[in-house]
Structure 1
């Protein structure tokens, strides 16, 4: 089926699982041509096991003329180097979050995509949840009225065994803790829904529940795009882990998006609901979620390439979310009492 859109997947760790399933679901129109990993003998290709031979040869994948785009699902510290090679080969790039471990490196990736005139998408799949799309529509149509206040909470849990894995929660590999690794999904959606103008105050700590280099708890007071107040709380110390939640108070109604389930109560007594099935990866089982949102994001990215348009989640979107995270960290550092 030569008409299928050719893709190479780089990185076959746990984060690749929903990508592999999504590629398999869309196999009638998308062809996974290469699976690249440093340890091919240990790679588990899930639904593609036995159908495709994994390889450590990235250059062969990049040289394949039938590969139009590359999905990079490797640790954040490797992203800039891989993005440089992907764009140099003339391939479009779908990159796992975050862009990279620092704003400087993240900006460099965005700049590379722009100067190469190639598409850069980022895996921030919460925007594709049907409940999130319904909430976005309610805001855009004015049915919620003017936003009066909003909050985003990520009360997740990760056991110490998660952080005992090599590189987990380190600046060198991950670039940060709960904000950049877990909460970035909800923060990206929050920014897309209501926008954030500034960070007024913040607290960032590592609780006594974890031994790790970076933060496992962060809270902040925010000013939203329209000047209304906002709040942020994110942690991986909330046992056993509960679904992330965005709450929006509008002049014509209030909305609660918990996980993928949406409840809107309008001032005129009407309600709107959307129930979602499946977990969100909020607990010890980090892969406890369906791949529906990944599949929708992948389809949108392929459509963006073939239709010559921007994907729904761009590199610039991801950069803005990472800038917000950096502002929270900077404000928290400034709020620390002196010796």
Structure 2
């Protein structure tokens, strides 16, 4: 496979695992530009990574050497930036979430279809080894039919996190803990067991934070086969703990905790896959390995070359964002 030319747009904290992954994938990609409107961020990035930097976004998009663009801006800028890249004939990968709203996400999906280009989304939890193993077990029927499932995200963000301009606002982030932090686990959970309905939900802003959007959400749900499910997520659980997915099947039960997996079968057999590192659940939001980012990007670049095989598509990300909307709508309904 020949190298694909790549531009990065957006050099905030989210770019770090992407950049580390691109270094690892140097045999497949060549970073043509790393772009930001901020000279300060451009200088800071250049001090860490050996990639050309620019504050000219048009140059990063329209350079003829560029075949794909990583759009790592805040969600509010995804649609406009993606449309410009797609119009220039570039494949794109956007950071999670897809966009501020489902409606804007649908516009982004439609733009990708019109352009005939790959549109991926960075929901990298699907690429953790433990997640891949659990998916394989479920697809093989090793756990039997799903009887019940739950997901919890007991994370922590200090108030200083939300004091940064735009954090936790509708205008920049499009939502709170559900869309900004829990979307990774929710997307993985939905892809594993399906979510057919939200039957009850509540959201709130706890006394631990001053912010516009929710820092706590819980819901009762139905999986794809109608089994009951539970969801709880927050950024008000100091010091922060690994997210968990628990699945009860007819033949056994599985616990996915951060990057680790434990499976206990009803016949007494047992399987353990150790976690590969931290998950960014605490105050240090970038405290996690970049391995899953690298593997998702590897899949994205392969899809750019072949035109097929993209796993985390814009449509998949949109489906997960629709679940977030359904939870928020049910919570509003419960408040009357």
TM-score normalized by the length of structure 1: 0.97
CA distance in 2, matches of 1:33, 1:276: 34
| Superposed counterparts of 1:189-268, under 5 Å | 189-268=188-267
**Match of residue 153 from structure 1:** 152
CA distance in 1, matches of 2:41, 2:285: 20
**Match of residue 120 from structure 1:** 119
**Match of residue 329 from structure 1:** 328
1:89 aligns with 2:120: no
Alignment check: 8 A CA contact 1:24 1:48 kept: no
CA distance in 1, matches of 2:302, 2:39: 30
**Match of residue 300 from structure 2:** 301
Q: State the SS of the aligned residue for 2:167.
A: coil
**Match of residue 45 from structure 2:** 45
TM-score normalized by the length of structure 2: 0.98
Following TM superposition, the consecutive aligned residue runs of length 4 or more in structure 1 with deviations greater than 3 angstroms are 46-49
User: What CA deviation, in whole Å up to 9, does each residue of 1:75-95 have, x standing for no partner?
Assistant: 000011001101000000011
Give the superposed CA RMSD.
1.2
CA distance in 2, matches of 1:321, 1:277: 25
Alignment check: 8 A CA contact 2:9 2:60 kept: no
User: What CA deviation, in whole Å up to 9, does each residue of 1:245-302 have, x standing for no partner?
Assistant: 0000000010000001000001111111110221100000000000000000000000
**Match of residue 140 from structure 1:** 139
Alignment check: 8 A CA contact 2:32 2:52 kept: no
TM-superposed CA distance for 1:25, in Å, is: 1.1
TM-superposed CA distance for 1:39, in Å, is: 1.1
CA distance in 2, matches of 1:56, 1:46: 12
CA distance in 2, matches of 1:82, 1:88: 10
User: What CA deviation, in whole Å up to 9, does each residue of 1:168-203 have, x standing for no partner?
Assistant: 000000000000000000000000000000000000
TM-superposed CA distance for 1:59, in Å, is: 1.4
Alignment check: 8 A CA contact 2:54 2:60 kept: no
**Match of residue 174 from structure 1:** 173
Matched residue count: 335
CA distance in 1, matches of 2:252, 2:326: 30
